[in-house]
């Protein structure tokens, strides 16, 4: 990474801005060793399939690169479980889609409660079929490292009509406070009552510090209507204000991004090698954020848990718009 200091601010756009902006929806995971394996930008579309909707055929766009980000509901530095199961749920999942024609990127955020066919891993990491359950559970199969991330990627790919995910990155909860404090705290307008969770978070304008940031973006129980959708609204405000504060730090110190990345590295798991990271930095240096979208749907209380059922028609429209081109 030291050889790429001059390009460090680009990470603000490609990795940190999107990664953090998306990851603050709940948290991340990174492992230094995850960057030691060689990988290249995946330009192959052979694994993507043509889909047919309402009698029309669509083929995968070949001018996009998709990065999947996962916030994992775990604390501490990344470490493997001692079985084929782990406790780290996908607290958020988002896909950054880089459009190499428009020179921009969009972000698709999936509700963790979304019901779908989840791939299951058995003893030895072998495929054991699927179950219909919340997206959050996809990462719990496997050791909690690359195998769990890959299982979540496969689950999301199937849910989005066979979409090819070029890269993934996950991060755990502790990284939120680190990132928040690195920019001197993030100021938000608190409209929900957090008194039962953290009395130090009052109503109105508050500059979040340390564990306050984690409470603000993570908690939904005993806050507002306790819905994940309400929490996601808080995420958007926090994300926008974090990015502003982050960019100010970058202007003040051109080594800031590198320092922050080194701080959060023990909390990340990714299949991006150093070569891949460098390639992305060069490729997406001047890309701008287009939009952040979330599928519509219905929340249903099932026992003690919320289930989110997407609007299939609206999801199809999003998938076609972001990932496919109509076959003429």
- pLDDT attached to residue 53: 75
Counting Cβ atoms within 10 Å, is residue 56 exposed (0-12), middle (13-18) or buried (19+)?
exposed
The answer to whether 120 and 141 have CB atoms below 8 angstroms apart is yes
Lowest average pLDDT, out of 19-33, 47-61, 151-165, 303-317, goes to 19-33
Q: Which residues of 77-111 are buried (b: 16+ CB within 10 A; e: fewer)?
A: ebeeeeebebebbbbbbbbbbbbeeeebbbbbbbb
Q: Whole-number mean pLDDT of the chain?
A: 78
What is the tens place of the pLDDT at every residue in 27-54? 333 333 333 333 333 433 334 577 777 7
Structural domains of the chain, count: 1
3-class SS letters over 73-136: CCCCCCCCCCCCECCCCEEEEEEEEEECCCCEEEEEEECCCEEEEEEEECHHHCEEEEEEEEHH
Where helices occur in the chain by DSSP H, the ranges are 8-11, 17-23, 146-159, 174-182, 211-218, 228-252, 256-264, 274-283, 312-323
Question: Which band of pLDDT confidence, cut at 50, 70 and 90, is reported for residue 307?
Answer: very high
* Per-residue model confidence (pLDDT) at position 137: 96
According to the model, what pLDDT value does residue 175 have?
83
pLDDT above 50 (res 243):
yes
- Give the separation between CA 224 and CA 296, rounded to whole angstroms: 20
Read off the tokens for 69.
């980000």
Task: State the average pLDDT over residues 244-263.
Answer: 79
- CATH for 96: 3.40.630.190
State how far the Cα of 191 lies from the Cα of 183, in Å rounded to an integer: 23
State which residues form the domain around 113. 2-326
Q: What per-residue confidence (pLDDT) applies to 296?
A: 94
Considering only CA atoms, give the Rg of the chain: 19
Cβ atoms 209, 147 nearer than 8 A: no
Range of weakest confidence among 13-17, 108-112, 199-203, 211-215 = 13-17
Q: State the pLDDT at residue 224.
A: 64
271-305 tens-digit pLDDT: 876 566 656 766 776 777 788 888 999 999 888 88
pLDDT tens-digit profile of 82-96?
Answer: 888 999 998 889 898
């Amino acid at each position: 990474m030291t050889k790429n200091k001059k390009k460090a601010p680009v990470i603000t756009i490609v990795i940190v801005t999107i990664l953090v902006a998306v990851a603050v929806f709940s948290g991340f995971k990174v492992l230094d060793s995850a960057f030691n394996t060689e990988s290249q930008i995946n330009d192959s579309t052979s694994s993507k399939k043509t889909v047919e909707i309402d009698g029309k055929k669509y083929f995968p766009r070949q001018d996009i690169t998709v990065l999947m980000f996962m916030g994992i509901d775990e604390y501490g530095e990344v470490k493997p479980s001692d079985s084929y199961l782990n406790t780290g749920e996908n607290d958020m999942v988002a896909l950054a889609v880089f459009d190499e024609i428009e020179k921009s990127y969009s972000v698709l955020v999936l509700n963790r409660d979304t019901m779908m066919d989840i791939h299951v891993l058995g003893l030895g990491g072998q495929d054991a079929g699927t179950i219909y359950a919340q997206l959050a559970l996809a990462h719990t199969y496997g050791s909690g490292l690359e195998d769990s991330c890959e299982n979540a990627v496969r689950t999301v790919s199937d849910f989005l009509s066979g979409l090819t995910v070029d890269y993934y990155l996950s991060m755990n909860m502790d990284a939120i406070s680190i990132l928040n404090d690195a920019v001197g705290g993030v100021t938000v307008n608190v409209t929900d009552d957090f008194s039962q969770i953290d009395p130090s978070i009052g109503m109105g304008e508050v500059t979040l510090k340390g564990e306050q940031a984690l409470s603000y973006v993570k908690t939904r129980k005993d806050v507002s209507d306790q819905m994940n959708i309400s929490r996601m609204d808080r995420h958007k405000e926090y994300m926008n204000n974090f990015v502003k504060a982050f960019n100010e730090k970058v202007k003040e110190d051109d080594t800031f991004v590198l320092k922050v990345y080194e701080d959060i590295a023990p909390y990340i798991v990714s299949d991006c090698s150093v070569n891949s990271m460098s390639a992305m930095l060069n490729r997406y240096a001047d890309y701008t954020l287009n939009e952040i979208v979330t599928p519509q749907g219905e929340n249903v209380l099932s026992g003690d848990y919320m289930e989110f059922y997407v609007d299939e028609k609206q999801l199809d429209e999003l998938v076609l718009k972001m990932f496919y081109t109509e076959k003429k």
